[in-house]
Amino acid sequence: MSAEAPRRILILGGVRSGKSVQAEQWAKHSTRPVTYLATARIEDEEMRIRIAHHRSTRPAHWQVVEEPVALARTLLAHAHPEGLILVDCLTLWLTNLLLDSDPQCAQREQDALLALLPSLPGTLILVSNETGLGVVPLGELTRRFCDQAGRLHQALATLCDPVLLMVAGLPIFLKGRP
């Protein structure tokens, strides 16, 4: 079996917009073996319930890798030309980076991800919350998070095709087509 050219798909949207469902549907309809890379940390009961729900809806044959910080390194370890990696979600990952005790962690990890993407083999689906459509956040950390997320999304959009925005469960293609 020959591998297709690497493909990068960026799916953005608000909370409960259908991002994860869209990404999982694309992965389910692929003939490629799927690795689901989860970035969430269980830090409270509400997050434990969310993660349990996500786990229950995924196909049992998907490989699941949980990595809250070292995304580029983990992608490199699991990528292969015939594979598909679904990363859910980049904004949880970014939160983990910004809360890390190392103040250089966020920039270092984002730079590593952006440097890796052009050469990463296989198909990659990236899911992230679009935070720039809401109210202006009040706190310094929240403003920094929104700024970082916006910059990351802009950089990823130049490297990905297609790029879509999910609204009410419907995809709006910002760049390219499926």
Edge-to-edge strand list for the sheet holding 163-167: 63-66, 34-38, 84-88, 123-129, 7-13, 163-167, 170-175
In the chain, how long is the greatest CA-to-CA distance?
A: 53
Q: Which residue is catalytic, options 29, 53, 54, 78?
A: 54
Check the CA dihedral 19-24-27-33 and report its sign: positive
Pair of tokens at residue 105: 């962690």
The DSSP letter of residue 79 is -
54 is catalytic: yes
Residues marked as catalytic? 54
